[in-house]
Amino acid sequence: MRAVLVLAVAALLLAAVSASGQVPEKMNYQVMLTDNSDQPLADQAVTVEFRLYSSGVGGTLYWTETHNTATNSIGVVSVVLGETTPLPTNPFALPLWLEVEVDSEVMAPRRELVSAPYALRSHTSDFLGDEAASEYTLDADLSTPGSINNPANPVDWTKLKSVPAGFADGSDDVGGAGDGHSLDASDGSPVDALYVNSVGNVGIGTTAPANKLTVGGSSAAAYAQFTSSGTGYTASDGFEIGVNGSGYAFINQQEAHSIAFMTNGTLKATLTSDGIFEFGSSVSDGTAEFYASGGASPSIKLKTSPAYGGEIELYEENGARYGSLEPDADGTGGYFRIYGGGGVNGFLVNGNSSGGNPYVGIQGTVSSTDFNTNVAGDGAVELPTSAVSAIEILDEPGVASTSATTSIVLSGPVETLLSQSITVPASGYVLAMASAEADIEHGATYSGAQFGVSNSSSSFPSGARIYHRVPAGAAEGTWEPGVSVQWLFEVTAGTHTFYFLGDRVGGTWSVWDRSLMLVYFPTAYGTVSRTVAAPPSNPEQRTAEPGYALTEADVAAERAESEAFNNARIERELAEMEAKIAELRANMGNGNKQ
């Protein structure tokens, strides 16, 4: 076991230091180490740890430092405390005890640190900050409690050092202009650069502040600028708010950053660096409201929510909502409404009523109309009873036809070769057209037959037939003429049946490859003449009558008649359309503001 003998402790260096010099923050320390026979441990490596405590036993540990060193030829270790770990500053105002540990063996007892004789002079300083201590006022000489900045709780002005004569009585009788207080520029011009008037309003650049803070300029722009070390402090740095020389107000973010708007510690809106105004944030829904002059409630609301997305609401002057555009509740598509009277959905568009299919509904107090693309066929549109007339629903051309390839031998009298029915929605015209191939076994006598289309199965319309014949003197054998007939019939709404008719007059006739086609036209665009003089029933009885080709005057008269008919039709339809438009306008105007 080693024994330790403390030879010397050199506290704070006592070298003479000038009033402005720095006191070294280290201590020299020496200790002699001996063995159990009290013989010095010469030239031996040791590890010495030093600790400072607040008391001789236990207490607070303020500081510790370890030195790996060696003894000299007489067993003495010399170290400088504070060389690797700075010594504590404030604890030296209190008693301290030093504990030494050598190679894991703690030496006891701890030794109290004491002052060197001349170090006791530091208890009273001659200079503080290069100023004689006598130039400072002790806090005990001031009224307690007291504050120089609180006139209601004054200090003893006579105890303050170097107070101007004008302030010695404790009254501000050498202050700024009038009864205010001011600060001048650092070079003295301008004066009253910062001014506080009698009611506490602060003026910067003005001695007549009208508000708690007024920033003014003599004739040019006046801005308040906010900067930091991150932005810089030049005129083009940071954030500005103020007015220019013409009086226009400006908010100017001079950095490449956004302007954030917050309330209650939450980001509510952002004006981004590229000029986009963002309402709301990742932690706050965005809402914008627009008010009319004098309105107590908003006329337009723009809203967002994490559950639905964006929404637009429109309100009347009395606060009643009359329209909205919002996301569909199903998660896709849009939802648009224009409300009718009493808050019902006057006009509704659902972009995704079911399966992604849109729906349009018009609802009133008397009737409603629905368009539902989720339904096919007739159910896709639901209209009020008798809302659309038959002409409006089916007023369009239509066709019907039939054909057969079998052969029919004509036996006479009038017989049906083909028949076809057609159902028309309204009054109009049906053009019936028929065709066939005919075989004539012609002998020595006359061969003849008549063909036509009719709305009767037993007779031809007047003039609606043609004759095929082979004279008696013609060569005997097989003749194959083509048959083509047509006629225009005036019809009413409903079902009509038309016939392809044949009538053998002489000879042997057979007909095959027959066809009958019907075309419905709801409208005439010119005059329609359906009657001609009936020819003789027997072609052999026909006699030649003189006829004349149409002259230019005949053609012009026919054209004028057709144009007059068409113009009359257009005038009639336009009158009907104008009546409908007037009715719609009247209905749309009911209950609306003018």
Q: What is the pLDDT of residue 419?
A: 94
What does the alpha-carbon distance between residue 195 and residue 152 come to, in Å, rounded to a whole number?
22
> What tens digit of pLDDT does each residue of 67-79 get?
999 999 999 999 9
Q: What is the pLDDT of residue 561?
A: 79
Q: What is the pLDDT of residue 537?
A: 55
Q: Which residues contact 65 (CB under 8 A, 6 or more apart)?
A: 49, 50, 81, 82, 83, 84, 85
How sure is the predictor about 589, in pLDDT bands with cuts at 50, 70 and 90?
very low
> What tens digit of pLDDT does each residue of 255-287 get?
888 999 899 989 989 999 888 988 888 888 888
> What tens digit of pLDDT does each residue of 473-512 get?
888 888 888 899 999 999 998 999 999 999 998 888 899 9
Indicate if 261-387 has the same CATH topology as 3-123: no
Q: Which amino acid is at 66?
A: T
How sure is the predictor about 594, in pLDDT bands with cuts at 50, 70 and 90?
very low
Backbone angles phi, psi at 467, to 5 degrees: -115, 140
Q: Burial code of 140-172, b = ≥16 C-beta within 10 A, e = fewer?
A: eebeeeeeeeeeeeebeeeeeeeeeeeeeeeee
Q: Average pLDDT for residues 127-132, to the nearest whole number?
A: 64
Q: What is the pLDDT of residue 592?
A: 37
Among 2.60.120.760, 3.30.70.1150, 2.160.10.10, 1.10.1740.10, name the CATH number for the domain at 394-541: 2.60.120.760
Q: What percent of the chain has pLDDT over 90?
A: 23
How sure is the predictor about 400, in pLDDT bands with cuts at 50, 70 and 90?
very high
Q: Is the pLDDT of residue 564 over 70?
A: yes
Structure tokens at 366: 């008397």
Structure tokens at 77: 């270790």
Q: Which amino acid is at 244?
A: N
Apex 301 CA angle, 291 and 262, nearest 5 = 90
What is the average pLDDT score of the chain?
79
174 in Cβ contact with 164 (< 8 Å): yes
> What tens digit of pLDDT does each residue of 514-554 get?
999 999 998 888 888 755 555 555 555 555 555 567 778 87
What is the architecture of the domain spanning 3-123?
A: Sandwich (2.60)
How sure is the predictor about 173, in pLDDT bands with cuts at 50, 70 and 90?
very low
Higher pLDDT, 567 or 126: 567
365 in Cβ contact with 378 (< 8 Å): no
Backbone angles phi, psi at 508, to 5 degrees: -110, 120
| pTM of full prediction above 0.75 | no
Task: Report whether CATH 3.40.630 matches the domain 261-387.
Answer: no
Q: Which of 20-29, 211-220, 261-270 has the lowest mean pLDDT?
A: 20-29
Q: What is the pLDDT of residue 403?
A: 94
Q: Where do the structural domains in the chain lie, given as residue ranges? A: 3-123, 137-174, 261-387, 394-541
What does the alpha-carbon distance between residue 337 and residue 360 come to, in Å, rounded to a whole number?
10
> What tens digit of pLDDT does each residue of 230-252 get?
888 898 898 889 888 778 888 88
